[in-house]
């Protein structure tokens, strides 16, 4: 039961409006460490707004966010990141003209030297980058290749490794396999499972119900800025999810 005692993320009654549009109308949900928590819903249900509130891109108008039981109030992505929350966006946020190790260490560069004369410690960064990828069993021919030359799946893997490194506790993923082929999707799903096994809390947004049912432990269904239902993945089905998302079935909590 100790695993269930503290939620990695717990949002309570979050509200967020943009002008007269109420994007979130009092959303409450949680995500546990060592689990994949999926958020599903139609376009405009408020999924993206919700994760942006958690990752600090937006600040919620009302309600509270607890990270590992601690009340937080993020106004910038950096604050959220300092609490171990990393986000992998649909646009991956990798710099194509930089190498893999440069991307993994962007704005977290390792330095050597004294005082103001600090220079990049390239060998240490290359070694650690290789270790970061290996830790999640990601194989990429050379850590020194530029991201431009990587396939979609390899890029996704690099972006995910970057999010999972750095002592993160929560990794938020927005449609991580939307642009990938079948084989690459399978690899990324394996990667997500390994991250889960390492005790990370994973918040997954996906339109792919099969994937959600395969990967997720807990599923939250959102519609029109509200949470319609929250249930264990093994207690539901694709049909029920569709019914909840479209509003054909009443919510259950």
Q: Does 95 sit near another protein (CB under 8 A)?
A: yes
Q: Does 139 sit near another protein (CB under 8 A)?
A: yes
Provide the token pair at 79.
């604050």
Q: Does 141 sit near another protein (CB under 8 A)?
A: yes
Separation of alpha carbons 147 and 158, rounded Å: 9
Q: Which of 77, 152, 186, 214 binds another protein (CB under 8 A)?
A: 77
Residue with tokens 């993945």: 233
Q: Does 120 sit near another protein (CB under 8 A)?
A: yes
Write down the least CB distance from residue 154 to another protein, Å.
9
Separation of alpha carbons 10 and 30, rounded Å: 4
Write down the least CB distance from residue 160 to another protein, Å.
15
Q: Which of 3, 13, 75, 118 binds another protein (CB under 8 A)?
A: 118
Write down the least CB distance from residue 178 to another protein, Å.
18
Write down the least CB distance from residue 221 to another protein, Å.
28
Q: Which of 21, 71, 106, 248 binds another protein (CB under 8 A)?
A: 106
Our CB check for another protein shows the closer of 42 and 109 to be: 109
Provide the token pair at 206.
């996906």
Give the 3-state DSSP-derived string for 14-69, with helices as H, strands as E and coil as C: EEEEECCEEEEEEEEEEECCCCEEEEEECCCCCHHHHHHHHCCCCCCCEEEEEECC
Find, among 56, 55, 47, the residue nearest to 29 by Cα.
47
């Amino acid at each position: 039961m100790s695993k269930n005692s503290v939620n990695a993320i717990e949002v309570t009654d979050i509200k967020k409006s943009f002008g007269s549009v109420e994007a979130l109308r009092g959303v409450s949900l949680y995500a546990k460490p060592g689990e994949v928590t999926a958020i599903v819903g139609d376009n405009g249900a408020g999924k993206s707004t919700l994760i942006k509130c958690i990752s600090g891109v937006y600040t919620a108008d009302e309600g509270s966010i607890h990270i590992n039981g601690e009340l937080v109030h993020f106004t910038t992505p950096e604050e959220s990141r300092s609490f171990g929350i990393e986000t992998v966006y649909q646009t991956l946020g990798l710099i194509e003209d930089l190498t893999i190790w440069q991307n993994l260490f962007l704005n977290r560069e390792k330095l050597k030297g004294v005082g103001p004369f600090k220079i990049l410690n390239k060998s240490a960064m290359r070694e650690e980058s290789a270790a970061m990828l290996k830790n999640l069993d990601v194989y990429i021919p050379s850590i020194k290749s530029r991201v431009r030359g990587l396939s979609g799946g390899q890029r996704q893997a690099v972006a995910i490794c970057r999010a999972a490194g750095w002592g993160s506790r929560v990794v938020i993923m927005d449609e991580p396999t939307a642009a990938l082929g079948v084989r690459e999707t399978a690899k990324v799903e394996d990667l997500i499972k390994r991250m889960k096994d390492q005790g990370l809390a994973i918040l997954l947004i996906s339109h792919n119900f099969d994937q959600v049912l395969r990967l997720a432990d807990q599923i939250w269904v959102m519609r029109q800025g509200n949470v319609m239902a929250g249930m264990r993945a093994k207690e539901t089905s694709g049909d029920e999810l569709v019914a909840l998302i479209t509003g054909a079935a009443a919510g259950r909590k």
